[in-house]
């Protein structure tokens, strides 16, 4: 029901504040303790739908965004496009379900402020990711020898904005659950779910990051030469490699393997420069972080995963 308040006159002014309560009147006309749990009356289907979609986008899909670019690199091309699709999903869900419950009041509650920041950072992260992908695929305006391609700077901006998105997104979930269960449902015990969700997400990332780093540290080594199976193994001489390169192929040598880039340089996280300047050459020393093609002070050669 709507409640009113008196403004120093005999008039009561209607306003938008509301409250739900219960009380019991005994046969003697006395007011007894309330006997009705008002929690169900305080619940909001729209807010709960908003919460479930945001949690799905930022906890579940948010972790998959990180995994597809960092922890699942074996099928890089598939992961590259899956990452783009997941990013689009997060962007659409964030905008639609943020607008579905909000009237622009970013400083009214802590959750409003973090949620508004989450929307802004999500849009920025999505745009920077789209620009990175477009430049990797279509842009060739860099000089033949430069310290860093333009796309690498934008990619770095996208990477750090992505990490920021994950943190703010899950912080928004934490404050949202706290606000809904703690304030709207008046101290519901489930308000701790927000902190629980945030901590679980951080632990999950920490576990996968530890596995990723340990695996990279101890599992990298010489790639064995493939054995001939079903006539599919092909042995190439130096002249064979040179001949195919002259015919337009982009081949590189990695240990005892001849790899056909086949356009991979346009989605390579380190840019096109290093791969294009090593066509026909052995790239092992670059892959294992023993050498950099361009010497940049205070920059350690990258150890690939």
Q: Where are the domains of the chain?
A: 2-40, 45-219, 224-298
Looking at residue 70, the DSSP 8-state letter turns out to be I
Q: Does residue 215 have a pLDDT over 90?
A: no
- Sign for the CA dihedral angle at 63, 64, 69, 75 comes to positive
Which pLDDT score is estimated for 152? 78
Which pLDDT score is estimated for 3? 47
Q: Does residue 264 have a pLDDT over 90?
A: no
Q: Does residue 91 have a pLDDT over 50?
A: yes
pLDDT digits 0-9 by tens, 23-40: 677 777 776 766 666 677
Name the class of domain 224-298. alpha beta
Which pLDDT score is estimated for 164? 93
Beta bridge partners of 56: none
Terminal Cα distance for the chain, rounded: 61
User: Considering only 52-66, 77-91, 92-106, which range has the smallest mean pLDDT?
Assistant: 92-106
Q: Which two tokens stand for residue 188?
A: 């519901």
pTM for this entry: 0.74
| Residue percentage of the chain with pLDDT more than 70 | 74
User: Considering only 29-38, 47-56, 127-136, 242-251, which range has the smallest mean pLDDT?
Assistant: 29-38
pLDDT digits 0-9 by tens, 167-211: 999 999 999 999 888 888 878 888 899 999 999 999 999 999 999
For 24, 64, 284, 298, the CA distances from 226, given in Å and listed in that order, are 82, 32, 17, 38
Contacting residues for 105 by C-beta, under 8 A, at least 6 apart: 112
Q: What does DSSP say about strands 2-6 and 12-18: parallel, antiparallel, or unpaired?
A: antiparallel
For 4, 6, 15, the CA distances from 11, given in Å and listed in that order, are 9, 6, 13
Q: Does residue 150 have a pLDDT over 70?
A: yes
User: Considering only 13-17, 24-28, 158-162, which range has the smallest mean pLDDT?
Assistant: 13-17
For the ranges 20-24, 150-154, 178-182, the maximum mean pLDDT occurs at 178-182
User: Considering only 102-111, 134-143, 183-192, which range has the smallest mean pLDDT?
Assistant: 102-111
Which pLDDT score is estimated for 102? 65
pLDDT band at 291 (very low <50, low <70, confident <90, very high): low
Per-residue 3-state assignment (H helix, E strand, C coil) for the chain:
CEEEEECCCCCEEEEEEECCCCCEECCCCCEECCCCCCHHHHCCHHHHHHHHHHHHHHHHHHHHHHHHHHHCCCCHHHHHHHHHHHHHHHHHHHHHHHHCCCCCCCCCCHHHHHHHHHHHHHHHHHHHHHHHHHHHHHCCCCCCCCCCCHHHHHHHHHHHHHHHHHHHHHHHHHHHHHHHHHHHCCCCHHHHHHHHHHHHHHHHHHHHHHHHHHHHHHHCCCCCCCCCCCCCCCCCCHHHHHHHHHCCCCEEEECCEEEECCCHHHCCCCCCHHHHCCCCCECHHHHCCCCCCCCCCCCCCCCCC
Q: Which fold has domain 45-219?
A: 1.20.120
Beta bridge partners of 6: 12
Task: Answer with the residue of higher pLDDT: 7 or 129.
Answer: 129
């Amino acid at each position: 029901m709507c409640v009113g308040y008196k403004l120093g006159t005999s008039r009561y002014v209607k306003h938008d504040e509301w409250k739900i309560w219960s009380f019991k009147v005994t046969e003697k006309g006395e007011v007894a303790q309330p006997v009705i749990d008002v929690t169900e009356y305080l619940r909001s289907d729209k807010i709960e739908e908003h919460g479930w979609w945001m949690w799905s986008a930022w906890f579940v899909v948010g972790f998959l965004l990180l995994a597809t670019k960092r922890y699942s690199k074996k099928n890089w091309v598939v992961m590259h496009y899956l990452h783009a699709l997941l990013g689009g999903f997060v962007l659409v869900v964030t905008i639609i379900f943020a607008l579905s419950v909000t009237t622009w009041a970013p400083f009214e509650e802590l959750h409003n402020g973090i949620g508004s920041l989450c929307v802004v950072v999500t849009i920025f992260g999505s745009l920077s990711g789209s620009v990175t992908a477009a430049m990797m695929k279509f842009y060739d305006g860099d000089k033949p020898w430069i310290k860093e391609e333009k796309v690498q700077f934008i990619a770095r901006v996208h990477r750090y904005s992505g990490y920021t998105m994950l943190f703010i997104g899950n912080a928004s979930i934490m404050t949202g659950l706290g606000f809904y269960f703690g304030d709207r449902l008046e101290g519901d015990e489930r308000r701790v779910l927000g902190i629980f969700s945030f901590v679980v997400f951080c632990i999950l990332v920490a576990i996968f990051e530890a596995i990723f780093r340990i695996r990279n540290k101890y599992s990298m080594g010489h790639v064995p030469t493939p054995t001939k199976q079903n006539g599919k193994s092909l042995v190439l001489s130096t002249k064979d490699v040179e001949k195919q390169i002259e015919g337009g192929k982009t081949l590189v040598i990695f240990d005892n393997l001849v790899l056909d880039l086949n356009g991979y340089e346009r989605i390579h996280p380190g840019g096109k420069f290093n791969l294009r300047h090593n066509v026909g050459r052995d790239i092992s020393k670059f892959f294992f972080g023993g050498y950099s093609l361009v010497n940049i002070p205070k920059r350690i050669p990258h150890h690939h995963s």
